[in-house]
Structure 1
Amino acid sequence: MTEIQNPILDVQGLEKHFGGITAIGGLDMRVGEGITGLIGPNGAGKTTFFNCVTGALTPDAGRVAFADGDITGKRPSAVAQEGLVRTFQIPRELPEMTVRENLQLAPRGQSGERLAQAWLRGDEFADDERRVREKAAEMAEFLEIDHVLDAKAGTLSGGQRKLLELARVLLTEPDMILLDEPLAGVNPTLEQKILDRIHDLESQGYSFLFIEHDIDVIMETCERVVVMHQGQVLTSGEPADVKSDDRVIEAYLGEEV
């Protein structure tokens, strides 16, 4: 197992129990810059780990540090303010609103969010609204969903909904994004589009922790891979090393490697 010397995300001794079931049992994980893959069988605790890190669940023990700040047990909105955001296996768009409206809700710190500004509606408010509209349109173009900007979000295909969710997350201007199966249910064309955009974003300085069940995608996309098993980290390292690890082969990959 190789360690990250200067992690962005540093999790130590994380525990989460549901009654008598231990979902996460004293997990240690350090994640650095770039694209890191997170693999493991169903029930390994990957999504529970995401939920504990991003505030959807409160850990029973342990510490979560992000960019040198302690975010343990903070609410999801507070974690997002620190620059750590996540997507979900099932996208959570607002289906009755248009794609454009969904995107324009995403940026942080809008003037209209402050009561005084909402009443005053002065030049700052107008400038802010214009900036948000422009950023939403630019992000839609970058992710190639600009042609559905005025469609109801609930009418989008599964792949388009994944792209919308990624766009909304990016508009919060995060430092790291936790991707929970972003390719699940996506057709091959859109899958490649999402992967291409992830690589583009990495080149712009974004970092990702990426849950995905397609081992080939993980090995081809990620610079580092972490393997979870029964709420613990089994091993981590470069894709070639992880793929050839006998424990990983036996537990997860079988003959496909």
Structure 2
Amino acid sequence: MLQLKGISKNFGGLHVLQDVNFNVAQGSIFGLIGPNGAGKTTIINLITGLLRPSSGDIQFNGQDLTSVQPHQITKLGIARTFQNIRIFKEMTLLENVIVGMHDHLNYGIAGILLNLASFKSAEAKSKARALELLSWVRLDHKAHMLADNLSYGEQRKLEFARALATEPKLLLLDEPVAGMNPAEKTELMAEIVNIKQRGFTIFMIEHDMRFVMELCEKIAVLNFGKIIAEGPPAEIRSDPAVIEAYLGKEDEAWE
């Protein structure tokens, strides 16, 4: 589904990424790991069009993304979450998710102002779909609550539901369990598996090794802007280059 071929990114004389290559298979959960400053978030920003590669190609379902605008990439079927949660805390959960549907709502300003039947129908459908997405992350019972009243873990799940409201084929997660306690991590892992089982492909970057190892089917390791290993969790866990470059020489780092 997603292919990066020879991707490099320079900021002036700083080489952030150098000849990065990897593939993400449709229907899989793919993880990208690496130390701080390795270039992981830069890769997500390149995939979503917020940055342009200095060289190389990014293909999504066979389409070149390197010159496509971010809003067009969203319409093609790519959505993301952010390391720092970005929800509208003064809005309800339902309203937050409906905001994510704006590209798919089929009514204009006239329909809203004149309260036309088309607007009423689309509004009812959007509310029903938003409730369905909230049920996927088990937040539908709080649909009319202000987002500001949610716990940190619930806010993260709300952000997932809003991303899914764009009807993506590929969901990019930027450190989804950052700041979570163990119970919240376990809950979120179950939600991600649930989302994957509904037909979505997931690409994540994450520092929690236990989370990545238990969840991802394939992992790529980025170090100083270069991919140093790629494969299933068992291979990554025992790869000497990964242990030395990323985790040090103590296997306890995986625990």
TM-score, structure 2 length as denominator?
Answer: 0.92
RMSD of aligned alpha carbons? 1.6
Question: Which residue in 2 is equivalent to 1:91?
Answer: 85
Q: 1:180 aligns with which of 171, 174, 181?
A: 174
- Tell me whether 202-211 or 45-54 shows the greater mean CA deviation: 202-211
What displacement does 1:160 show? 1.4
**1:123-166 deviation per Cα after TM superposition (whole angstroms, max 9, x unaligned):** 22211110100111121122122233223223322211111110
Question: Which residue in 1 is equivalent to 2:18?
Answer: 25
Q: How does 1:43-192 map to 2 (within 5 A)?
A: 43-107=37-101, 108-112=103-107, 114-115=108-109, 117-118=111-112, 121-192=115-186
SS in 1 for 2:5: strand
**1:146-189 deviation per Cα after TM superposition (whole angstroms, max 9, x unaligned):** 23322322332221111111000111111111111111111222
2:40 matched to 1:39?
A: no
| Partner AA of 1:111 in structure 2 | N
SS in 1 for 2:91: coil
**1:196-218 deviation per Cα after TM superposition (whole angstroms, max 9, x unaligned):** 01111211211111111111111
What displacement does 1:116 show? 5.1
CA contact (8 A) 2:219 2:231 kept: yes
**1:74-111 deviation per Cα after TM superposition (whole angstroms, max 9, x unaligned):** 22211111111111001111222222111111123202
What displacement does 1:10 show? 0.8
Whole-Å separation in 2 of the counterparts to 1:193 and 1:80 = 27
Whole-Å separation in 2 of the counterparts to 1:39 and 1:87 = 16
Whole-Å separation in 2 of the counterparts to 1:32 and 1:72 = 19
Q: 2:242 aligns with which of 214, 233, 248?
A: 248
| Partner AA of 1:110 in structure 2 | L
Number of residue equivalences: 249
CA contact (8 A) 2:104 2:166 kept: no
Whole-Å separation in 2 of the counterparts to 1:61 and 1:94 = 36
Whole-Å separation in 1 of the counterparts to 2:13 and 2:182 = 41
CA contact (8 A) 1:111 1:117 kept: no
SS in 1 for 2:104: coil
Whole-Å separation in 1 of the counterparts to 2:50 and 2:42 = 9
Whole-Å separation in 1 of the counterparts to 2:180 and 2:204 = 16
Question: Which residue in 2 is equivalent to 1:16?
Answer: 9
List alignment gaps of at least 5 residues for structure 1: 1-7
What displacement does 1:15 show? 2.0
**Which of structure 1's runs of 4+ aligned residues deviate more than 6 A?**
none
CA contact (8 A) 1:15 1:27 kept: yes
| Partner AA of 2:25 in structure 1 | G
Give the percent of matched residue pairs that are identical in Structure 1 and Structure 2. Answer: 39
List alignment gaps of at least 5 residues for structure 2: none
Whole-Å separation in 1 of the counterparts to 2:142 and 2:184 = 15
CA contact (8 A) 1:226 1:233 kept: yes
Whole-Å separation in 2 of the counterparts to 1:240 and 1:175 = 27
SS in 1 for 2:230: strand
TM-score, structure 1 length as denominator?
Answer: 0.91
CA contact (8 A) 1:83 1:175 kept: yes
Q: How does 1:221-232 map to 2 (within 5 A)?
A: 221-232=215-226
